[in-house]
Structure 1
């Protein structure tokens, strides 16, 4: 069985609908997957680099789960990446992560229609993913197809119906993520 490590980069997972639902669904379907919730582990942004590197070394499949924040990963997850993915560990002549599978999985607040060249974002979601592809290449990680869901913003969950709709979107996202993990 593959060792699956999921890094949750949501800055406040307890107040999330989509990312929390996705992680709950994955945990139920894949009980042996290890989920590291950065907001719980490192509320003060003091990353335990040795512990995180050990977890990565033990993984066959690495999943980054987060809400897209300012067209990238949230600050805590970016700090995790900056602190943990050091030269000599993640990349360089003594890199240790090469060959592991990487699945990038995220949600966006804006709806899919906003991510078009002629819309407000002026770029597609895929164009915002080049940074993840380049990171995977540098680290020798085998990037799997990216899994994402649009339209799960805080502002669009004011009613019970909107919350239920976001949970449904998140459950569908989780199904796609579980399939991607199992295929990796």
Structure 2
């Protein structure tokens, strides 16, 4: 008799069927960034009286959409960005569609440039993000002025720009940790 000396296959062609618990866990891990934005937007819509509360709501949404759109696009699909923008529109008092349009612009740039952004370091990604935060916030300010039929002060827009750009490094660190934990649940 001749023994067959072939290497065993590392991955079989037949994968075991996932249990319901595993599918729910996978879906929850995938939806975690979207759920984070929605919950933080709803919490920041409550009248706590914190200065800059609405700017923080918008800043968290922009930072989250930017990070997840180019780091893990399956966790931040376009439909999720649309739903996030719609929910923020419902709980905020801005002109209709301004926040939704801003989030879709941020998402489109990050998703379209994700391969190039993934090769850049943190500082360059932060600079590019800052440029698009300035563009979308000025666009929001123009839409608010058109909605009010008046030239409103620019200071709230500048505060929103500074806050959004300023919180990005902290959220980046949180999201890097979260990306690792979502991919490998044993780490953490």
**TM-score when scaled to structure 2?**
0.32
Question: Which fold has the larger relative contact order, with Cα–Cα distance below 8 Å and residues 6 or more apart in sequence?
Answer: 1
Higher helix share: 2
**TM-score when scaled to structure 1?**
0.32
Higher strand share: 1
